[in-house]
Structure 1
Amino acid sequence: MEEEFYFDFSDDAQRSVERYEEMIRNQDQYFFDAQAFENIIDYYIEKNDPVKALQVIEYALNQHPYAAVFLVKQAQLLFVTDQTERAFLALQKAEMLEASEAEIYILRGNIYNSLERYSEALDNFQKALEFAETTDEILLQIAYVYQNMLDYESAIVYIKQSLEQNMENKDGLYELAFCYDILDKQEESIQFYQEYIDNDPYSYAAWYNLANSYHKLDLFEKAIDAYDYAILIKDNFASAYYNKGNALVQLDRFAEAIEVYKQTFEYEKPNADTYCAIGECYEKLERMDEARSYYKKSVKMDPKMADAWFGIGVTLNFEERFFESLHFYKKAIELDGENPDFWFAIADAYYKLGQIEQSVEAYYKVLEYNPVDVEAWLDFSTVLYEQGKLLEASETIADAIKNNPDAAELYYRMVAYLFALGEKNDALLYLETALATDPDKHYILFEYLPQLQENGSILEVINRYLK
């Protein structure tokens, strides 16, 4: 559920606003104390009317010229309305009136941060730390500056300081996770959240971030346990359900994942991502009608959901409805034209429909976007081989080997093609390399060209390696 934020204006505040509006209508001058002016300004800020709020500040400053609070509010509104120079001037005046007001330096720090003037931002936040009663938010602001400077190590130091002062700060916990993630320091992240949970076992945000770190290290069982704790503490935590579903998918526990994904709908409106994820689970379970119905819900909700368009194509392909699947693969490619999986599927569909030229073009795309897909190289070379293009098939595998020098399958396939081309000596050289790379896979050779099982020179080389 999204929380709604609103000011609960007291009767006094409401009366102040009515009196102020009456004064404007009558083109008169009424006196308001400083608190009343603050209430009126906040009322207009809440109504998202910075122009009227600035107007009130002019009146307030006329009646209370030494109240720095109005200059700070003025600076804030000038900054929001892109009048940065004037905002700086207002803060300068405020500082002359009340140099120990932390808000002045916090706001100035934020403005400098937005202008990418980071060292000036840091100077101001440091000054704010001297004057502020509570500093956890300021420490977090300093961390944001370091993040903008791409200095995530320093950001972590300040986020931790902030959390030491305020264990409840969920923003800090999420920002910390973000920094650890960027630095790819999941182990440190896990250690931090475990220690944090020892101090505060009921922090659902800490359990959730701990789970995400486990997830990134492929420790899916541990991740699921930690998501469960987060859900136990906060039972309407939709993101935890969704990520738990993702972890279950990684363990091929598709039926359980579906149930968990569906639980998110109790706590937040269904969205295209979740529908698509459920569709993928049904697809993995080969329940294609249900998969298709969820993929359709996904694209209905978000027509730009390329994965869901693709999913519909996959379900049709499974039912050997290749021509229909093409339509949906093409929709996916329109939205995400560099996705090698989409091109692979379309290459395969064209091949099955006997449209070899289109299939070959699509294979070129797959390999352009993902040259380390060994399966795609093998399939592509097979298409060429079946067209009687033996030389092209062998050249394709040569390219494949350049991109994947450790893939034994490619060397074994090359042996088959070279024998078919009558280049026996080269074939035997490749066979040596294949056996040196992975001797256990030599059966691939005979699967592809069974007649080679009778070939004495091949058997001789294989036996030499298998002894």
Structure 2
Amino acid sequence: MALDSSEQPGPPIAKFESMLRTDDVYFFDAEDFEEIIHHYLNHGKVSLAKKAIKMGLQQHPNSLDIRLLDVEVMVFENEFDLAEGVLDELQILEPNNEEIFVQRANIQSKQDNHLAAIALLHQALEMTDDVVDLYSLLGMEYLFIDDYTMARKCFIRCLEADPEDYASLYNTIYCYEFLDEHEGAISYLNTYLDSNPYCQIAWHQLGKQYFAVKMYPEALAAFDFAIISDDSFLGAYFEKGKVLEKLGRYEEAIENYNTTTELEDPTSHAYLRIGKCYEQLDRPEKARYYFYLTVHEDPLLDKGWLAITDHYLKKKDYQKAQEYIDKALSIDGENAIYWKRSGMIHKALKQVHEADFAFKQATELGNYEVDTWLNWAEILCECDELEAAEVVLRQGCEFHPESAELQYQLAGVYLRQHFPDKGKRTLQKALKEAPDKYPYFETRFPEISRALWVQRLLRESGKASK
């Protein structure tokens, strides 16, 4: 198997590179050539690997391992037919060499024939006792076909053979998460930690699983153990901060986020969370300071721009809010959340046409939330664009047929357009499905709500105004 890419070049590699700088030709053992080739492949230096393979085959033409490395390069360069031809020759010589089946599986995988690759890897498993790498490859193939249950089984087999195979640990938990089996992940991680009590990665993953199921005290304890195992574990401090936020312990959360900025270069996400904590502590100016740091650190982080915008929205400083949402849109004009916030700001500023355009952009970019349709329709009603408001509300109802607010607003729009039958039917439907939401209608259409026939409907629904 390949050497770790972080390994320093050994004497054979230094000798080989010295040879390349001269006209001399040195002799190497076949094992030395394998080390040299692995080194170059792991560092992405394919042309040098090919030179080593060529020379290796000149000096050791019968070396099966060097020829297999030659096949690996062929597969990397998508020369599948050529690679298959060499593998056919090698299989005649060594029909039970598992690496031949691994390379055939690699070829099938690169051609998206994952079931065929899986079958070949299972054949390879029957030929060797060294199964860790094979199960890892199998797990990845099962991931390609979205079989997360089988993928998880393979990665667990890897961990049984090598508990410090952290890539397989991450992949195992990823499978649990994708299957939405957080309790299963918690059970597995606790069992794993019984045998590996100082594994900071497992404690960190356990904390995240507890967080996902809102078991915050347990999550906090898990992240504390991760930090005890490795007091420089950046991710554990950050995740611990998130738990402390959920528990309302904002000062402690800030301390943990600040620790992440001290351990490594500050991140925009840490600054954003610190700002959010200061918001909760009712220290808006301190919050604003960290929101500015957020966008300075990462101008493309939409949550940072939204945080500044919302800061000014809370202060009802709509002009400032507009200034910052415009900056955000100049960076990413395809962001539906930016456009929605822009619509809200223009609505507050009574800028009808701008708000109409912004809400339209938001929905075209995929923001179909109930309040988007409601606010868009409201601004159209305010400028007496009732037909357009009706179209918007009907679209909203298609996405959210269960929304009583959309039904109540649509009923009001029908009635203002003098469509009494449509209006009455829609209002009756809304009253039947959500009588407790009637105040929404009453607030927006007070003149209609005072009509005798509406009062009669209310009495029949048991919601007459007192």
TM-score of the pair, normalised by structure 2: 0.81
- For the residue of structure 2 that corresponds to 1:131, the secondary structure is coil
Query: Deviations for 1:396-454, whole angstroms, at most 9, x for unmatched residues?
Result: 44544444332233344456556666777765554443332233333334444556786
2:7 match: 7
8 Å Cα contact 2:352-2:380 kept in structure 1: no
- For the residue of structure 1 that corresponds to 2:300, the secondary structure is coil
- Partners of 1:324 and 1:454 in 2: how far apart? 39
Counterpart of 2:101 (choices 101, 105, 115) is: 105
Classify 1:254/1:362 alpha carbon distance in 2 versus 1 (closer, same or farther; 3 Å): farther
Classify 1:446/1:175 alpha carbon distance in 2 versus 1 (closer, same or farther; 3 Å): same
- Partners of 2:198 and 2:15 in 1: how far apart? 47
1:50 match: 46
Deviation of residue 170 (structure 1)?
1.5
Counterpart of 1:382 (choices 378, 381, 392) is: 378
2:430 match: 434
Counterpart of 2:169 (choices 156, 162, 173) is: 173
8 Å Cα contact 1:106-1:128 kept in structure 2: yes
1:118 match: 114
8 Å Cα contact 1:394-1:414 kept in structure 2: yes
The worse-fitting range, judged by mean Cα deviation, of 246-255 and 372-381 is 246-255
- Determine if the alignment matches structure 1 residue 291 to structure 2 residue 287: yes
Counterpart of 1:183 (choices 171, 179, 182) is: 179
Gaps of 5+ in 1: none
1:325 match: 321
Q: 1:153-302 to 2 correspondence within 5 Å?
A: 153-220=149-216, 222-249=218-245, 254-283=250-279, 285=281, 287-302=283-298
Determine what percentage of the aligned residue pairs are the same residue: 27
1:363 match: 359
8 Å Cα contact 1:306-1:335 kept in structure 2: no
Query: Deviations for 1:7-29, whole angstroms, at most 9, x for unmatched residues?
Result: 245xxx52x45655565566445
Query: Deviations for 1:106-148, whole angstroms, at most 9, x for unmatched residues?
Result: 3443343223232442243223323333212211111111211
Classify 1:387/1:17 alpha carbon distance in 2 versus 1 (closer, same or farther; 3 Å): closer
- Partners of 1:391 and 1:78 in 2: how far apart? 64
Q: Which amino acid is the alignment partner of residue 347 of structure 2?
A: Y
Q: Which amino acid is the alignment partner of residue 298 of structure 1?
A: T
- Partners of 2:210 and 2:5 in 1: how far apart? 34
The worse-fitting range, judged by mean Cα deviation, of 31-40 and 150-159 is 31-40
- For the residue of structure 1 that corresponds to 2:232, the secondary structure is coil
Query: Deviations for 1:314-350, whole angstroms, at most 9, x for unmatched residues?
Result: 3333344433433432343355545443222111222
1:70 match: 66
Classify 1:145/1:43 alpha carbon distance in 2 versus 1 (closer, same or farther; 3 Å): closer
- For the residue of structure 2 that corresponds to 1:167, the secondary structure is coil
- Partners of 1:401 and 1:28 in 2: how far apart? 79
Query: Deviations for 1:64-106, whole angstroms, at most 9, x for unmatched residues?
Result: 3333222233333444455544444554555455444444433
- Partners of 1:207 and 1:344 in 2: how far apart? 39
Q: Which amino acid is the alignment partner of residue 230 of structure 2?
A: K
Q: Which amino acid is the alignment partner of residue 152 of structure 1?
A: Y
The worse-fitting range, judged by mean Cα deviation, of 372-381 and 342-351 is 372-381
Counterpart of 1:444 (choices 429, 436, 440) is: 440
- Partners of 2:239 and 2:314 in 1: how far apart? 28
8 Å Cα contact 1:66-1:97 kept in structure 2: no
- Partners of 1:109 and 1:52 in 2: how far apart? 25
Q: Which amino acid is the alignment partner of residue 345 of structure 2?
A: A
1:129 match: 125
Q: Which amino acid is the alignment partner of residue 237 of structure 2?
A: Y
TM-score of the pair, normalised by structure 1: 0.81
Q: 1:340-351 to 2 correspondence within 5 Å?
A: 340-351=336-347
- For the residue of structure 2 that corresponds to 1:236, the secondary structure is coil
- For the residue of structure 1 that corresponds to 2:67, the secondary structure is helix
1:303 match: 299
Classify 1:115/1:273 alpha carbon distance in 2 versus 1 (closer, same or farther; 3 Å): farther
The worse-fitting range, judged by mean Cα deviation, of 415-424 and 131-140 is 415-424
Counterpart of 2:309 (choices 309, 313, 320) is: 313
Query: Deviations for 1:361-380, whole angstroms, at most 9, x for unmatched residues?
Result: 21223344567533333333
- Partners of 1:26 and 1:293 in 2: how far apart? 60
1:139 match: 135
- Partners of 1:397 and 1:236 in 2: how far apart? 53
RMSD over aligned CA atoms reads 3.7
The worse-fitting range, judged by mean Cα deviation, of 329-338 and 344-353 is 329-338
How many residues matched? 460
- Partners of 1:316 and 1:218 in 2: how far apart? 31
Classify 1:92/1:318 alpha carbon distance in 2 versus 1 (closer, same or farther; 3 Å): same
- Partners of 1:335 and 1:203 in 2: how far apart? 41
- Partners of 2:411 and 2:38 in 1: how far apart? 78
- Partners of 1:417 and 1:26 in 2: how far apart? 86
8 Å Cα contact 2:448-2:454 kept in structure 1: yes
8 Å Cα contact 1:371-1:403 kept in structure 2: no
Classify 1:367/1:29 alpha carbon distance in 2 versus 1 (closer, same or farther; 3 Å): closer
Query: Deviations for 1:199-222, whole angstroms, at most 9, x for unmatched residues?
Result: 544443333333333444455554
Classify 1:403/1:57 alpha carbon distance in 2 versus 1 (closer, same or farther; 3 Å): closer
- Determine if the alignment matches structure 1 residue 61 to structure 2 residue 57: yes
- Partners of 1:306 and 1:338 in 2: how far apart? 11
Q: Which amino acid is the alignment partner of residue 358 of structure 1?
A: E
